[in-house]
C-alpha cells in the first residue's frame, strides 16, 4: 500500500477522491484572492494536477464517468432554466434572433476555419457550430439590474432555445454521419427520429413528473433521484436514435422546466448536487486535458486562438446588428443582446469535447476553445452590465417606492440591541434574531437566549408590542440570518459594525459578504452617540444611485430616523457635476426639506465627523444600476481612512421588479 501512495499519478480510488474533494472545496477560496471566478479556478486546478501539470492524477475512467455526468448535468440545468413560455412572450423576435445568431456565426466560422486556418472539413464544421452556440452566462446580471422583463432579455432567452437546439441537432448529424450512409438519407432519418423523440419526451415527461410529485411524497431525495433517472433515460434514448446524449439531457430539462419551480427546494437540490460534485469534477477534467506545453511551445496556438476568439465574438455581434435592424431595436438594446449571447460556455465545451474525443479536432483547437470560453465569458459579463444599466436608467421610472418595511435585527449580545431599535420606526414588527450553534447544549442555549431577549424587550414598554423574538439553530450565522429573512419576508436587515477583519474572512468572506447574496437592504450601523442627540446627517449620494428602484425608499427611511428635532441634512454628491437634476429629484420625493443642502465632496471635506453628526454612506451592490467600481473604492476609502464616530453603511436591496 505504501508504494501505491508514493507513486504519481495516484491510482488508489480513495486517495483520488480525497484529492478531488479537496480541490473542489479549496480552489475557489484560494483563487478568489486573485479575483479568478470559480469556474476558471476549477479548470486551472485541473491543469495543475493533470498529466500536463504536476501529474498528480490521470484522467482515468472514474474522472471521465463523473465528468460525463457533469456535462449532462450542465445541459439539463440549461434546459430547466430556459422556460419554453419565454419563447411565446417574444414570438417573432426570438425566432428572428435565434436564426440570425445561428447562421451568421456559423458562416463566419466556416469561412475563417476553411480559408484562413485551412482546417479539415469535419474540424471546420465543428468550429462553425461552436461559434453558433452560446450560454447565457450574463443572464443573472440582467436580472439583478432589474431588466429581466425587457424585450431584449426575453429575445435573448428565446433565441438561445432555438440556436442551441439547432446546434445540438447539427452536432449529432456531423458526428453520426458515416461513409456507408448517404448524408441526405442520414439527415432525413435523424430529423424524423428527432421529431418523434421530441413528441414522446415533451408529452410524457410532464405527465409522469406531475403524477410522481403528486403521489410520491415520502421525501425530496426521492424526487431528486427521480429527476436524475429521467435525465439518464432521455440521454440513453437520444443515443439510441443516433443523437448525442447531451441533447437528451437538454430536452429533458426543457420538458420538465414547467414542473419544477425555479425557487423550489427541489431546484435548490438540483443546483446543490451539481455545484458541489458533478460540474466541478467535469471542469477539473477539462483542465486536465489542456496541454500546458503547447501553450508555451510557440506562437501558432496564440495566433489560432486570437483568430478564433475575434471571429467568435464578431459573429455574435453581426447577429445582434442585423437583429437590431430587422426588429428595430436601439443601439443599447443591440449591445445588450450581444452581451447576453456572446459568451461561449456549456454547449461550447460539449461541442469541442465531443470533437476532441472523436479525433475530429486536435489539441490546438481544443486549447483555443477553452481560451474562447474564458475570454468571451468575461467580455459578456462586462458588456451586459454596462449596457444593461443604460437600459435600466431609461426604462425604470424614478418615483417614490412603496415597499412595506419589515425589519430583521440579528443580535449576538442582547444587551446591545437597544441602539438597533432606534434606527427605524415601522408599523410592522421588528424581528429580533439570535442564531444558536447546533451542539450538545442547543436546547439550553435556546431557552436561555429567548428568556434574556424577552426580558430586555419588556424594558421597552412603548415598543413591546412591535418586537418579536426569533431563535434559530444553524451551523452558520449568515445562512441562518438569510433563511430567517426569507421566511419572515423581511425587507431590511440591521446589524452592527465590526472593524475587525480576520485572515480567514478575507479568504472565505465575512458575514456581511455572505448577507449580500440575499435581496434585503442591509443597514450596517455604528453609534457612539444616541440618535436623538444627533443634529446633522451627511448623506453621500454616488452618481447613478438615483436610478436604483429602491433608492427613494432608502431616503424615506433615513428621513424617519429618530434624530434630534429640526436636524439638518447635507446631501454630499460623489462623482457628479450636475446638481440641478438630483435637487429636483429630492424635492419631488420629499416635502420635509424645502431647502436642500447640496455639496460636492470636494466642496465639503468628508473627514473627521463630530460627535453630534451622522455619516450615511450608500454603497450600491456590484450588479446594481448605480454601481461603479471607481466610486465604490472611494466610498471604502472614506470609511476606512477617516474617523467616523456615528455612521450607517446602506447596501440597497434588490427590488422585485423582474
Which has more confidence, 185 or 210?
A: 210
pLDDT bracket for residue 631 (50, 70, 90): low
Neighbours of 19 (CB within 10 A): 15
- Contact partners, residue 371, CB within 8 Å, separation at least 6: 305, 309
pLDDT of 220: 66
**In the structure grid, which three cell numbers stand for residue 131, read together?**
461559434
pLDDT bracket for residue 264 (50, 70, 90): confident
pLDDT of 464: 46
**In the structure grid, which three cell numbers stand for residue 73, read together?**
448535468
Reduced to 3 states, what is the DSSP secondary structure of residue 521? strand
pLDDT of 403: 57
Percent residues over pLDDT 70 in the chain: 73
Which of 61-65, 290-294, 348-352 is modeled with the greatest confidence?
A: 61-65
Q: Is the pTM of this model over 0.75?
A: no
Lookup result for grid cell 471521465: 64
Specify the pairing of strand 407-410 against strand 430-436: parallel
Percent residues over pLDDT 90 in the chain: 11
Lowest mean pLDDT of 17-21, 121-125, 341-345, 592-596, name the range.
Answer: 592-596
Bond preceding residue 378 cis, omega within 30 of 0: no
pLDDT bracket for residue 245 (50, 70, 90): confident
Distance CA 299, CA 305 (A): 10
- As a whole number, mean pLDDT of residues 595-621 equals 70
Q: Which whole-number Å values give the CA distances from 473 to 265, 276, 436, 477, 553, in the listed order?
A: 19, 24, 5, 9, 32
- As a whole number, mean pLDDT of residues 17-21 equals 90
Distance CA 456, CA 419 (A): 13
Neighbours of 45 (CB within 10 A): 25
DSSP characters over 81-100: HS-HHHHHHHTHHHHHHHHH
Which has more confidence, 375 or 108?
A: 108
Lowest mean pLDDT of 214-218, 266-270, 611-615, name the range.
Answer: 214-218
Distance CA 161, CA 116 (A): 31
pLDDT of 317: 95
Q: Which residues face 432 on adjacent strands? A: 409, 469
> How far is residue 50 CA from its own chain's centroid?
28
pLDDT of 414: 43
Span 521-535, pLDDT tens digits: 888 888 888 888 888
Q: Is residue 270 scored above 80 in pLDDT?
A: yes
Q: Which whole-number Å values give the CA distances from 284 to 49, 99, 301, in the listed order?
A: 9, 33, 22
pLDDT bracket for residue 97 (50, 70, 90): very high
Determine the longest span between alpha carbons in the chain, in angstroms. 90
Q: Which domains does the chain have, with CATH numbers?
A: 75-395 (1.20.1530.20), 399-526 (3.40.50.620), 528-658 (3.40.50)
Lowest mean pLDDT of 279-288, 320-329, 582-591, name the range.
Answer: 582-591
pLDDT of 644: 66
Tell me the CA end-to-end span of the chain in Å, nearest whole number. 58
Q: Which residues face 538 on adjacent strands? A: 570, 615
Q: Minimal CA–CA distance to 255: which of 207, 200, 202, 194?
A: 202
- Helices 346-357 and 363-395: crossing angle in degrees, nearest 10, is 170
- Contact partners, residue 262, CB within 8 Å, separation at least 6: 81
Which of 336-340, 383-387, 566-570 is modeled with the greatest confidence?
A: 336-340
Q: Where are the beta strands (DSSP E) in 477-634?
A: 492-496, 521-526, 536-542, 568-574, 597-600, 613-618
Assess contact for 123 and 361: CB atoms under 8 A.
yes
pLDDT bracket for residue 590 (50, 70, 90): low
pLDDT of 380: 82
Amino acid at each position: 500500500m505504501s508504494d501505491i501512495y508514493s507513486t504519481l499519478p495516484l491510482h488508489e480510488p480513495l486517495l483520488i477522491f480525497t484529492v478531488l474533494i479537496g480541490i473542489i472545496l479549496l480552489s475557489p477560496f484560494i483563487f478568489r484572492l486573485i479575483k479568478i471566478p470559480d469556474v476558471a479556478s476549477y479548470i486551472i486546478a485541473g491543469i495543475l494536477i493533470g498529466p500536463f501539470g504536476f501529474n498528480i492524477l490521470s484522467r482515468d475512467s472514474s474522472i471521465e464517468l463523473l465528468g460525463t455526468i457533469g456535462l449532462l448535468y450542465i445541459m439539463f440545468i440549461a434546459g430547466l432554466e430556459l422556460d419554453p413560455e419565454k419563447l411565446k412572450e417574444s414570438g417573432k423576435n426570438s425566432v428572428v434572433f435565434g436564426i440570425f445568431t445561428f447562421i451568421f456565426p456559423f458562416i463566419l466560422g466556416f469561412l475563417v476555419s476553411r480559408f484562413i486556418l485551412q482546417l479539415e472539413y469535419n474540424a471546420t464544421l465543428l468550429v462553425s457550430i461552436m461559434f453558433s452556440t452560446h450560454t447565457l452566462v450574463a443572464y443573472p446580471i440582467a436580472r439583478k439590474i432589474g431588466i429581466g422583463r425587457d424585450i431584449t432579455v426575453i429575445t435573448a432567452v428565446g433565441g438561445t432555445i432555438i440556436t442551441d437546439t439547432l446546434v445540438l441537432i447539427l452536432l449529432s448529424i456531423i458526428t453520426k454521419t458515416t461513409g456507408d450512409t448517404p448524408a441526405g438519407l442520414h439527415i432525413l432519418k435523424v430529423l424524423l427520429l428527432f421529431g418523434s423523440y421530441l413528441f414522446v419526451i415533451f408529452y410524457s415527461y410532464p405527465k409522469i413528473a406531475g403524477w410522481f410529485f403528486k403521489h410520491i411524497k415520502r421525501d425530496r431525495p426521492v424526487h431528486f433521484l427521480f429527476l436524475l433517472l429521467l435525465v439518464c433515460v432521455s440521454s440513453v434514448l437520444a443515443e439510441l436514435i443516433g443523437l448525442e446524449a447531451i441533447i437528451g439531457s437538454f430536452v429533458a430539462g426543457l420538458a420538465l422546466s414547467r414542473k419544477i419551480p425555479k425557487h423550489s427546494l427541489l431546484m435548490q437540490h438540483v443546483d446543490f448536487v451539481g455545484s458541489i460534485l458533478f460540474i466541478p469534477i467535469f471542469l477539473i477534467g477539462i483542465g486536465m486535458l489542456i496541454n500546458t506545453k503547447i501553450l508555451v511551445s510557440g506562437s501558432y496556438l496564440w495566433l489560432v486562438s486570437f483568430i478564433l476568439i475575434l471571429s467568435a465574438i464578431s459573429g455574435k455581434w453581426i447577429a445582434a446588428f442585423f437583429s437590431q435592424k430587422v426588429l428595430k431595436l436601439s443601439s443599447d438594446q443591440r449591445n445588450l443582446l450581444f452581451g447576453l449571447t456572446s459568451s461561449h460556455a456549456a454547449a461550447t465545451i460539449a461541442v469541442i469535447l465531443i470533437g476532441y474525443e472523436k479525433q475530429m479536432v486536435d489539441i490546438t483547437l481544443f486549447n483555443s476553445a477553452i481560451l474562447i470560453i474564458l475570454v468571451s465569458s468575461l467580455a459578456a459579463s462586462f458588456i451586459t452590465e454596462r449596457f444593461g444599466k443604460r437600459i435600466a436608467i431609461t426604462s425604470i421610472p424614478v418615483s417614490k417606492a412603496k415597499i412595506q418595511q419589515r425589519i430583521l435585527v440579528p443580535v449576538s449580545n442582547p444587551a446591545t440591541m437597544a441602539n438597533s431599535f432606534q434606527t427605524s420606526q415601522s408599523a410592522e414588527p421588528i424581528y429580533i434574531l439570535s442564531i444558536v450553534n447546533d451542539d450538545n447544549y442547543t436546547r439550553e442555549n435556546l431557552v436561555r437566549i429567548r428568556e434574556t431577549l424577552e426580558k430586555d424587550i419588556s424594558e421597552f414598554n412603548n415598543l413591546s408590542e412591535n418586537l418579536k423574538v426569533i431563535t434559530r439553530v444553524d451551523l452558520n450565522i449568515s445562512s441562518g440570518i438569510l433563511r430567517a429573512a426569507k421566511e419572515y419576508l423581511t425587507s431590511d436587515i440591521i446589524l452592527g459594525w465590526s472593524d475587525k477583519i480576520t485572515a480567514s474572512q478575507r479568504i472565505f468572506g465575512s458575514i456581511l459578504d455572505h448577507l449580500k447574496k440575499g435581496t434585503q437592504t442591509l443597514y450596517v450601523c455604528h453609534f457612539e452617540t444616541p440618535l436623538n442627540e444627533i443634529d446633522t446627517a451627511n448623506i453621500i449620494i454616488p452618481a447613478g444611485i438615483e436610478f436604483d428602484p429602491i433608492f427613494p425608499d432608502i431616503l424615506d427611511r433615513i428621513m424617519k430616523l429618530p434624530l434630534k428635532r429640526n436636524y439638518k441634512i447635507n446631501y454630499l454628491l460623489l462623482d457628479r457635476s450636475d446638481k440641478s437634476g438630483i435637487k429636483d429629484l429630492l424635492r419631488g420625493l420629499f416635502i420635509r426639506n424645502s431647502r436642500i443642502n447640496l455639496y460636492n465632496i470636494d466642496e465639503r471635506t468628508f473627514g473627521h465627523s463630530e460627535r453630534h453628526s451622522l455619516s450615511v454612506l450608500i454603497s450600491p451592490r456590484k450588479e446594481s444600476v448605480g454601481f461603479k467600481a471607481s466610486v465604490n473604492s472611494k466610498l471604502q476609502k472614506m470609511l476606512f481612512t477617516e474617523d467616523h464616530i456615528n455612521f450607517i453603511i446602506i447596501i440597497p436591496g434588490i427590488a422585485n421588479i423582474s
